[in-house]
Amino acid sequence: MAKKPTQAAQSARTAPLLPDAIKDSAHEIWLAGLAAFSKAQQEGSKMFDALVQEGLTIQRKTQSAAEEKISAATQKMNRMADEIGTRATGQWDKLESIFEDRVARALKSLGVPTAGEVDALAARLAALEKAAQPRPARTASVKKAPARKRPAARKTS
């Protein structure tokens, strides 16, 4: 029967192989790292460009959405301003009417004639002036009555 080699004998034979294996393994890890770094550089610039393009697309969409929101808000503000202007005009007209009525009552209580009364008076004055103007003399041909002959005086002797 053959004797099994002892553990010490085995480790003596594998001892010179272990540092070479570690060295080879470390060298392979180093080469894999270099390859990964190189690939990351190549893919990284492609990835960076792709991210820039995606960022531009997102920015355009965001700007478009913002412009739509601003446009909608502007239209809403314009409608509100128009409504407020219409309401204000209506209120201003009411206020103006009330003011005119009050001023007219105050002037009436002071005895100031209204514009209608002044206009009526001016029309009446114009009519009176027209009636008072002298009329031009008519130069109608008036036939004079023929002179009557007087009977001749009789001689009395």
Distance of CA 4 to the CA centre of its chain: 101
What's the pLDDT score for residue 37? 85
Report the alpha-carbon distance of residue 47 to residue 43 in Å, rounded: 6
pLDDT of the residue at 122: 94
- Is 4 a residue whose pLDDT tops 60? no
Residue 54 has pLDDT above 60, yes or no: yes
Whole-number pLDDT of residue 126: 93
- Determine the Cα–Cα distance for residues 132 and 135; give it in Å rounded to an integer: 9
pLDDT at residue 11, as a whole number = 54
* pLDDT over threshold 90, residue 14: no
Confidence tier at 6 by pLDDT (50, 70, 90): low
Supply the pLDDT for residue 141: 58
| CA–CA distance, 101 with 94 (Å, rounded to integer) | 11
